Structure 1
Amino acid sequence: MMRFFELYTKELFATGLVFLTVILLRVIVSKAVKKYSKSHTGIEKRTNLVIKYIHLLINILAVISLIVIWGVQKNDIMITLSSIATVVGVAMFAQWSILSNITSGVILFFSFPFKIGDVIKVHDKDFPFEGEIIDINAFHTDLITKEGERLVYPNNLLLQKGISIVKPRFEDQEFTD
């Protein structure tokens, strides 16, 4: 056991440093995103989702760092990464709309073109509508029309279509059946 520590002192120290860095980055990023969210909309559900995505990225970078630290050959790393990228690329191409909606959800989080409670008009030539935003999720936005119809609209279409913010909320009107 002592021999192990003598042989791999540098690697063990670097591994500890990577773990410490991951913990610090996760805490700093979480606080920064929460602070940004509080100053703009304060939607906890969306904030936690963005934090989860960023933590995943930090973890992937940490794993790559550990692979390099423990001496995996660069050629082996490149072959492995290219194989993984190929498989993920094929899978994501098949599921492009999922990736597109997740990306759109993150963009909507940071740009805040509209918020929960806003009434928006979607300028779609085939299906124009107006509705109040009741929730914004990772994949879709939930809206409710004056008629009480609940619409689930993909986030990527919200970024592709023309949107008008009509007013902050529907007036205190009764929804008709």
Structure 2
Amino acid sequence: MNILFDPYKNQLLYTAIAVALLLLLKYLLSKIIRKVGVISNYNDARTSLIVRYANIAIFFIGIAAISIIWNVDFEDLGLILSSIFAVIGVALFAQWSILSNITAGVILFFTFPFKIGDKIEILDKDFPVRATIEDIKAFHLLLRTEEDELVTYPNNLLLQKGVKVYGSSAEDDGSRSL
């Protein structure tokens, strides 16, 4: 049995260390994101979505680290990855808005001062909306207008437009502009 593992002793040790560090990073990052969610009074589903994005990023970092540890030939790996990314790139080119909405959702989680239940007005000359935020999803906001209509508004457009926050639906304490 030692004959099988002896040539790979260092790689196995470094892989174990890398996995342990990545699991620690995953745990700490999850704690930090959840703490930001609690401090900012964000919805649990919204916080869990950001944790999931962070876990995916850590997974790809882990794949890269293990590839380096095991001396994967990057020319062969580069050929495989370039082929995969070419196919994915063509497929996602038509769907670029999906990626921009996910990115906008992450930015909204960390930086914007509104949350579920807040009354907002989106200052858009073509489609002005004054509504209450019902939910914040990965791709869009669900807004309930004063006429009781349910409107979905893409996250990436929310970053491009001015937004006026009027406070929560429970308390109407005046307005503040973003």
Task: Using structure 1 for the length normalisation, give the TM-score.
Answer: 0.89
Question: 1:148: how far off?
Answer: 0.9
Tell me the distance in 2 between the aligned counterparts of 1:129 and 1:24. 44
Question: 1:170: how far off?
Answer: 7.1
The equivalent residue for 1:29 is 29
Tell me the distance in 1 between the aligned counterparts of 2:33 and 2:169. 27
Secondary structure, aligned partner of 2:120: strand
Amino acid at match of 2:57: L
Q: Which stretch has the larger CA shift, 3-12 or 86-95?
A: 86-95
Q: Which stretch has the larger CA shift, 68-77 or 1-10?
A: 68-77
The equivalent residue for 1:4 is 4
Confirm whether residue 59 of structure 1 aligns to residue 59 of structure 2. Answer: yes
| Contact 1:131 1:146 survives alignment (8 Å) | yes
Alignment of structure 1 residues 95-110 onto 2, 5 Å: 95-110=95-110
Question: 1:89: how far off?
Answer: 2.6
The equivalent residue for 2:15 is 15
Amino acid at match of 1:89: G
The equivalent residue for 2:159 is 159
Structure 1 residues 116 and 153: alpha-carbon distance in aligned structure 2, compared to 1, 3 A threshold: same
Tell me the distance in 1 between the aligned counterparts of 2:26 and 2:144. 36
Secondary structure, aligned partner of 1:76: helix
Amino acid at match of 1:158: L
Secondary structure, aligned partner of 1:141: strand
The equivalent residue for 2:84 is 84
Confirm whether residue 136 of structure 1 aligns to residue 107 of structure 2. Answer: no
| Contact 1:132 1:170 survives alignment (8 Å) | no
Q: Which stretch has the larger CA shift, 117-126 or 47-56?
A: 117-126
Question: 1:65: how far off?
Answer: 1.4
Q: CA RMSD in A?
A: 1.8
Kindly provide the CA deviation profile for residues 9-66 of structure 1, in whole angstroms up to 9, marking residues without a partner as x.
0011011112111211110000011111111123211111001001001011111211
Secondary structure, aligned partner of 1:151: strand
The equivalent residue for 1:175 is none
Q: Percent identity?
A: 46
Secondary structure, aligned partner of 1:71: coil
Q: Structure 2, unaligned stretches of length 5 or more?
A: 173-178
Tell me the distance in 1 between the aligned counterparts of 2:14 and 2:147. 61
How many residues align? The count is 172
Tell me the distance in 2 between the aligned counterparts of 1:23 and 1:60. 13
Secondary structure, aligned partner of 2:108: helix
Task: Using structure 2 for the length normalisation, give the TM-score.
Answer: 0.89
Secondary structure, aligned partner of 2:152: strand
Question: 1:127: how far off?
Answer: 1.6
